[in-house]
Protein backbone atom coordinates (compact mmCIF):
# COMPACT_ATOMS: atom_id res chain seq x y z
CA UNK A 1 0.00 0.00 0.00
CA UNK A 2 1.21 3.50 -0.82
CA UNK A 3 2.41 5.47 2.22
CA UNK A 4 0.25 8.46 1.28
CA UNK A 5 -2.70 6.46 -0.15
CA UNK A 6 -5.86 7.83 -1.68
CA UNK A 7 -6.24 10.19 -4.60
CA UNK A 8 -3.22 10.86 -6.81
CA UNK A 9 -0.95 13.71 -5.78
CA UNK A 10 2.24 15.18 -7.15
CA UNK A 11 5.40 14.83 -5.09
CA UNK A 12 7.40 16.57 -7.84
CA UNK A 13 5.95 18.63 -10.68
CA UNK A 14 7.06 18.78 -14.31
CA UNK A 15 9.20 21.87 -14.87
CA UNK A 16 8.94 24.57 -17.49
CA UNK A 17 12.12 24.78 -19.54
CA UNK A 18 13.68 25.86 -22.81
CA UNK A 19 15.33 23.50 -25.29
CA UNK A 20 17.07 24.04 -28.61
CA UNK A 21 15.37 22.89 -31.80
CA UNK A 22 16.55 19.41 -32.79
CA UNK A 23 17.39 18.35 -29.22
CA UNK A 24 15.35 16.00 -27.04
CA UNK A 25 13.06 17.29 -24.27
CA UNK A 26 12.20 15.28 -21.15
CA UNK A 27 9.29 16.24 -18.89
CA UNK A 28 9.25 14.39 -15.56
CA UNK A 29 7.05 14.26 -12.50
CA UNK A 30 6.66 12.12 -9.39
CA UNK A 31 3.13 11.01 -8.46
CA UNK A 32 1.75 8.88 -5.65
CA UNK A 33 -1.69 7.39 -5.06
CA UNK A 34 -3.45 4.22 -3.95
CA UNK A 35 -4.60 2.54 -6.07
CA UNK A 36 -1.79 3.36 -8.49
CA UNK A 37 -2.99 6.10 -10.84
CA UNK A 38 -3.15 5.92 -14.61
CA UNK A 39 -1.14 8.68 -16.29
CA UNK A 40 -1.95 10.61 -19.48
CA UNK A 41 -0.07 13.46 -21.15
CA UNK A 42 -1.58 16.31 -23.19
CA UNK A 43 -0.15 19.14 -25.27
CA UNK A 44 -2.23 22.30 -25.57
CA UNK A 45 -5.25 20.31 -24.25
CA UNK A 46 -4.94 17.54 -26.90
CA UNK A 47 -4.04 13.97 -25.82
CA UNK A 48 -0.55 12.79 -26.77
CA UNK A 49 -0.32 9.34 -28.33
CA UNK A 50 2.90 7.67 -27.11
CA UNK A 51 4.27 6.95 -30.60
CA UNK A 52 6.81 8.32 -33.04
CA UNK A 53 8.81 11.11 -31.41
CA UNK A 54 6.75 10.92 -28.18
CA UNK A 55 7.64 8.25 -25.59
CA UNK A 56 6.01 7.80 -22.20
CA UNK A 57 7.91 6.02 -19.42
CA UNK A 58 7.22 5.03 -15.82
CA UNK A 59 9.82 4.00 -13.25
CA UNK A 60 8.24 3.43 -9.86
CA UNK A 61 6.29 6.61 -9.16
CA UNK A 62 8.35 8.78 -11.56
CA UNK A 63 6.61 9.39 -14.88
CA UNK A 64 8.17 11.02 -17.94
CA UNK A 65 7.38 12.17 -21.44
CA UNK A 66 10.29 12.22 -23.92
CA UNK A 67 9.91 14.34 -27.05
CA UNK A 68 12.68 13.44 -29.51
CA UNK A 69 14.16 15.91 -32.01
CA UNK A 70 12.05 18.85 -30.84
CA UNK A 71 10.68 21.23 -33.47
CA UNK A 72 9.27 24.74 -32.92
CA UNK A 73 5.76 23.24 -33.23
CA UNK A 74 6.48 21.13 -30.12
CA UNK A 75 6.59 24.26 -27.97
CA UNK A 76 3.54 24.81 -25.79
CA UNK A 77 1.84 23.74 -22.59
CA UNK A 78 2.14 20.09 -21.55
CA UNK A 79 -0.14 18.60 -18.92
CA UNK A 80 0.36 15.41 -16.95
CA UNK A 81 -2.94 13.97 -15.68
CA UNK A 82 -3.10 11.32 -12.97
CA UNK A 83 -6.33 9.48 -12.17
CA UNK A 84 -7.43 6.56 -10.00
CA UNK A 85 -10.73 5.39 -8.48
CA UNK A 86 -10.33 7.86 -5.59
CA UNK A 87 -9.66 11.03 -7.56
CA UNK A 88 -7.58 12.85 -10.14
CA UNK A 89 -5.07 15.69 -10.42
CA UNK A 90 -2.95 17.36 -13.04
CA UNK A 91 0.10 19.58 -13.43
CA UNK A 92 1.28 21.72 -16.33
CA UNK A 93 4.65 22.84 -17.66
CA UNK A 94 5.58 24.94 -20.67
CA UNK A 95 8.16 23.80 -23.20
CA UNK A 96 9.86 26.62 -25.09
CA UNK A 97 11.83 25.80 -28.25
CA UNK A 98 14.69 28.03 -29.44
CA UNK A 99 16.77 27.73 -32.60
CA UNK A 100 20.25 26.29 -31.94
CA UNK A 101 22.94 28.94 -32.20
CA UNK A 102 26.74 28.88 -31.85
CA UNK A 103 28.03 30.60 -28.70
CA UNK A 104 31.42 31.84 -29.72
CA UNK A 105 32.73 33.78 -32.71
CA UNK A 106 35.70 32.06 -34.30
CA UNK A 107 34.50 28.63 -33.11
CA UNK A 108 31.38 27.99 -35.21
CA UNK A 109 31.08 24.41 -33.94
CA UNK A 110 31.08 25.47 -30.25
CA UNK A 111 27.85 26.20 -28.41
CA UNK A 112 26.85 26.89 -24.83
CA UNK A 113 25.57 24.08 -22.61
CA UNK A 114 21.83 23.50 -22.70
CA UNK A 115 19.76 21.33 -20.35
CA UNK A 116 17.63 18.79 -22.20
CA UNK A 117 16.41 17.40 -18.88
CA UNK A 118 16.87 19.15 -15.55
CA UNK A 119 17.21 17.36 -12.21
CA UNK A 120 13.88 16.59 -10.59
CA UNK A 121 13.13 17.52 -6.96
CA UNK A 122 12.40 14.33 -5.07
CA UNK A 123 11.04 13.58 -1.61
CA UNK A 124 12.67 10.66 0.24
CA UNK A 125 12.71 9.37 3.78
CA UNK A 126 15.62 9.92 6.15
CA UNK A 127 18.41 7.43 5.51
CA UNK A 128 17.21 6.46 2.02
CA UNK A 129 19.45 6.63 -1.02
CA UNK A 130 18.41 9.05 -3.75
CA UNK A 131 19.50 9.61 -7.36
CA UNK A 132 19.27 12.78 -9.43
CA UNK A 133 19.90 12.93 -13.15
CA UNK A 134 20.04 15.50 -15.89
CA UNK A 135 20.88 15.59 -19.57
CA UNK A 136 23.14 18.38 -20.80
CA UNK A 137 24.53 19.06 -24.26
CA UNK A 138 27.23 21.52 -25.28
CA UNK A 139 30.29 21.81 -27.46
CA UNK A 140 32.83 21.23 -26.12
CA UNK A 141 31.18 18.76 -23.74
CA UNK A 142 30.23 20.52 -20.48
CA UNK A 143 31.66 19.58 -17.09
CA UNK A 144 28.96 19.44 -14.43
CA UNK A 145 29.34 20.52 -10.84
CA UNK A 146 26.65 19.53 -8.35
CA UNK A 147 25.85 21.90 -5.48
CA UNK A 148 23.59 22.08 -2.44
CA UNK A 149 22.43 25.54 -1.39
CA UNK A 150 25.11 27.13 -3.60
CA UNK A 151 28.03 25.14 -2.14
CA UNK A 152 30.00 22.33 -3.78
CA UNK A 153 29.06 18.89 -2.48
CA UNK A 154 32.73 18.10 -1.86
CA UNK A 155 32.83 21.04 0.59
CA UNK A 156 29.77 19.73 2.46
CA UNK A 157 30.05 15.95 2.51
CA UNK A 158 32.62 13.19 2.65
CA UNK A 159 33.14 11.50 -0.72
CA UNK A 160 31.63 8.27 0.64
CA UNK A 161 28.26 10.05 1.07
CA UNK A 162 27.70 10.66 -2.66
CA UNK A 163 28.93 9.81 -6.14
CA UNK A 164 28.64 11.61 -9.46
CA UNK A 165 29.16 10.39 -12.98
CA UNK A 166 28.21 10.45 -16.63
CA UNK A 167 26.21 7.88 -18.56
CA UNK A 168 25.71 7.43 -22.32
CA UNK A 169 23.81 10.02 -24.37
CA UNK A 170 24.96 12.97 -22.21
CA UNK A 171 23.13 11.90 -19.02
CA UNK A 172 24.80 12.95 -15.76
CA UNK A 173 23.89 11.64 -12.32
CA UNK A 174 24.29 12.34 -8.62
CA UNK A 175 23.65 9.59 -6.08
CA UNK A 176 23.41 10.42 -2.38
CA UNK A 177 23.68 7.57 0.10
CA UNK A 178 21.76 7.68 3.37
CA UNK A 179 20.01 11.04 2.92
CA UNK A 180 19.91 13.41 5.87
CA UNK A 181 17.58 16.28 6.77
CA UNK A 182 18.58 19.72 5.41
Is the domain of 57 the same as that of 123? no
Q: Tell me the pTM.
A: 0.57
Q: Note down the domain range covering 93.
A: 6-98
How many domains does one find in the chain? Answer: 2
Residues 43 and 82 in one domain: yes
**Which tens digits make up the pLDDT trace of 31-63?**
999 999 999 999 988 999 888 899 999 988 999
* The last residue of a domain, from among 98, 123, 142: 98
Is 135 inside a domain boundary? yes
Instruction: Please answer whether residues 72 and 81 qualify as being in contact, where contact means their C-beta atoms are separated by less than 8 angstroms.
Output: no
Q: Are 164 and 172 in contact (CB under 8 A)?
A: yes
* Residue at 103 is within a domain: no
Task: State whether residue 127 is helix, strand or coil.
Answer: coil
61 and 17 housed in the same domain: yes
Q: What is the largest CA-CA distance in the chain?
A: 59
**Same domain as 69, residue 15:** yes
What's the CATH code of the domain at 94? 2.60.40.10
Res 108 pLDDT > 70: no
**Same domain, yes or no: 122 and 165:** yes
Amino acid sequence: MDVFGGAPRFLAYPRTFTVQSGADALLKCQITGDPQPSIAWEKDKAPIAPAGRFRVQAEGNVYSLLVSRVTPEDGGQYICKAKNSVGETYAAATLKVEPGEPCCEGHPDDWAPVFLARPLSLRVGRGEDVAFSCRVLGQPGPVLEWEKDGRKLSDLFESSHFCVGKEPEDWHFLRIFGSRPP
